[in-house]
Amino acid sequence: MNSPIVENIKALDQIQTTAIDLAFTFGPKLVVACLILLAGFYVGRWMGRITEGMLLKMELDVTLRILLVRIVRLLVLGLFGVLALQNLGVELLPLIAGLGVAGAGLALAMQGVLSNLAAGLTIIFTRPFKVGEYISIVGEEGQIEEISLFSTILSHPDLSRVVIPNRKIAGEILHNYGQIRQVNLTVGVAYDTDLNAALARINALLATNPQVLQQPAPLIQVAALGDSSINIAIRPWVSVEAFATVAGDINQAILASFREGGIMIPFPQREIHLLRHR
């Protein structure tokens, strides 16, 4: 009768023999498969650079260009992956069928992620906005910093970053300011003011302010006749970057110019009549 020690030694020998046979049988194929995948990685990078150069000449949007380059790289790597599996002797049809079943289950578990992906593709191809433009949507606003397949990143005027899932953007009402914004200011002057002189001073200030765009031309007009003042609307166009600070600069310059020219900005006034009853 064989002792347990002898049986264990025989089992280890059998395992060792089997491992050596498998190494000799599949080792070279595994090495070749790894080399094929490595070659696919470098060929994919090379094809990606060629594709990016062609797309740059076509002047496509940067987000669409990045997406197409990534797709080309993945397709090349996937092709070399198929070649590597064939070299290992893997039957592709059963593998594809299994991946299809697994993919269906995975799709049910990742509905939110897939909806973000679908919305991202819609945004990239329909291009309702581009990187660098200023937008307002779903209660948030900011300058487009990055558009990816799953989310859109805005840089907010308070220097924070807003990350919006793409599924929250698709189908919503979007306000796209582009790369310029219109500042909305109002200043009141007294009713006995030389209105032409006041308007001329405002025009001169806007013409010399380097942050104010001259095209489109600033809008300056009498907006309303108030209880104690003539209200002048001042609506110049500025770049998105200057929007946060230019209003304060213009208000300060108007105040200094009006003081210099003797133009009064009136306080609200009320007349109170006291009636004495006997």
- Distance CA(152)–CA(198), nearest Å, equals 45
DSSP state for residue 204 in the 8-state scheme: H
Q: Which fold has domain 180-261?
A: Alpha-Beta Plaits (3.30.70)
At 277 the pLDDT is 65
Which CATH number among 3.40.50.2000, 3.10.50.40, 2.30.30.60, 3.30.1360.200 corresponds to the domain 130-178? 2.30.30.60
CATH architecture for the domain at 4-90: Orthogonal Bundle (1.10)
Output the tens digit of pLDDT for each of the chain's 278 residues: 446 666 666 666 666 666 665 565 666 777 777 888 888 888 888 888 888 888 777 666 676 677 778 888 888 888 888 777 777 666 666 656 666 656 655 555 555 677 777 888 888 778 888 888 899 888 888 889 888 878 899 988 788 899 999 888 887 888 999 889 999 999 999 988 899 999 999 999 999 999 999 998 999 999 989 888 899 999 999 998 888 889 999 999 999 999 998 888 887 767 777 777 65
Q: Which two tokens stand for residue 115?
A: 């909806």
88-95: Cβ within 8 A, 24+ apart: 88/26, 88/29, 88/30, 88/33, 89/29
Q: Which two tokens stand for residue 91?
A: 């039957």
pTM of the model: 0.59
56-65: Cβ within 8 A, 24+ apart: 61/124, 61/127, 61/130, 61/131, 62/130, 62/131, 63/124, 63/130, 63/131, 63/147, 63/148, 64/124, 64/125, 64/127
Domain spans, the chain: 4-90, 130-178, 180-261
At 8 the pLDDT is 63
Give the ranges where the chain is alpha helix by DSSP (H): 4-58, 62-87, 92-109, 111-126, 195-208, 243-261
Q: CA of 249: how far to CAs of 34, 180, 269, in Å? A: 64, 17, 28
